[in-house]
Structures are given as C-alpha cells and as structure tokens.
Amino acid sequence: EVQLVESGGGLVQPGGSLRLSCAASGFTFSNYNMNWVRQAPGKGLEWVSYISSSSSTIYYADSVKGRFTISRDNAENSLYLQMNSLRAEDTAVYYCARGLVKYNSGWYFDYWGQGTLVTVSS
Amino acid sequence: QSALTQPASVSGSPGQSITISCSGTSSDVGGDNYISWYQQHPGKAPKLMIYDVSNRPSGVSNRFSGSKSGNTASLTISGLQAEDEADYYCSSHTSSSTRGVFGGGTKLTVL
C-alpha cells in the first residue's frame, strides 16, 4: 500500500524557517517524481514544487522561488521542503504528492499524504 | 502563474449529471493533454479522479469522465450520488517555468 506521511509543520514567526519531511513507503520511491502542494485555510490547492526521481530536475511556483528548496533522499525514501523567509501567506496545509514514474510524460498526482499544517504568525 | 478558472459552485439532484469547466490558455490547458481532476472532501487529502484529460485511475467510478476542447477542460459526473458532494479541482501542466497550476476549485452540492 502506498503511504506518504508528512511531518515538520508547526507555528513559526514571519521571517523564520521550517523543514518539512515526507516519508514514503509501499512503492519504489527512487522511481517516482515527487511534488509539494499546499492549501491555505479555506482556500484552493496550490502546486509548490516538483523534483524528478534523480533530483536532476526541479521546479518551483513563482510564489516560493528563492525561498523554498525541495530535495529528496532516495536511500531514506524521503522528500523534503526547506522553507526560509516565511511569510503569513505561506500559512497552509502542505501535502506531499506522488508524480509520475520516471521516463513517463505527464502531470498528475496519484497519491497524497494527509498533510502537515504550517502556521506563520507572530 | 494565474490559477485556471473554474466555477465557484455547481449543484445537481441525485441521479442527474453535472459538468465542471476548467478554462486556461494555450500555455496550459490548451498546450497538451496533461489535465487532471481531483476530488476533495472536507478535512481530507485530494484524490485523483481523472488524468491525461479523460483517463480514470483504477477504482474510480465510470460515472466520472473528462474531456477537453481548446483551452477548456471539463469534468462530467453522471448519476449524481450524495457522496459526490465535495470540492473538485482541475490541474494542468504549463509551458511556463513553473510547470504546474491548479484551478480555483468548484464546490459541488448534491441537492
């Protein structure tokens, strides 16, 4: 069974930093592209970042570019999101979402974690 | 990157059919066939319902179908059931540097 479990959320002051983790199991993690998607309270989904299976290709939404860094450790079956210079508008539930298997073309997220809440407030 | 445009809400009675639209540009929805749809119940994670415009993942009811014409994609739910009441989001690959975008979401109410 595919499982994605996020952790690392919490309350942080504006300008602060936080590192989110996503532990993957039930599939060959190193074969899949991965993503972070967030959802502000009462709002819609926003794609945040993408990392390819080998970490060779990375993309960011304009809203987080230069502040967030996505990474992965295939040996540990883990995905990360380092968030710096946090702003109130970064307050959201952050989801880890599996993308496509490597070498396949497409854009969708077939498995999602339950999310971790990040609150940016003084 | 602006969000794709979806109606804020749609409604229908049990047994009826509804369609949710998702409008974009030639840089996203109209650019390729990488359109997907997600269902989200309150307090739950999103669930993939349609990928590559019209394909259903294993386990998703055939009451859900997708299509695309030009820069607009659509999700149709036939034979509405109470459990279909949820928020629905479209998503598209984009040719911009950011690569991905979601629609603003549509709240489906089953009357």
Q: What is the pLDDT of residues B61-91, one digit of tens each?
A: 999 999 999 999 999 999 999 999 999 999 9
Q: Quote the mean pLDDT of chain A.
A: 96
Residue A62 touches chain B, beta carbons under 8 Å: yes
pLDDT of B35 > 80? The answer is: yes
Q: Strands, DSSP E only, in chain A?
A: 3-7, 10-12, 18-25, 32-39, 45-51, 58-60, 68-73, 78-83, 92-101, 111-112, 116-120
Residue B38 to residue A35, Cβ atoms within 8 A: no
Chain B residues with beta carbon closer than 8 angstroms to that of A110: 48, 51, 57
Interface test with B, best of A108, A112, A116 (most B CBs within 10 A): A108
pLDDT of A103 > 60? The answer is: yes
Distance CA A41, CA A68 (A): 20
Note the pLDDT of residue A52: 94
Comparing CA positions, the residue from A60, A67, A116 lying closest to residue A87 is A67
* A44, A59, A106: residue with CB nearest B51: A106
One DSSP character per residue, chain B reads -PPBB--SEEEE-TT--EEEEEE--TTTTTTSS-EEEEEE-TTS--EEEEBTTTBPPTTS-TTEEEEEETTEEEEEE-S--GGG-EEEEEEEE-SSTT-EEEB--EEEEE-
- A1-22 pLDDT, tens per residue? 999 999 999 999 999 999 999 9
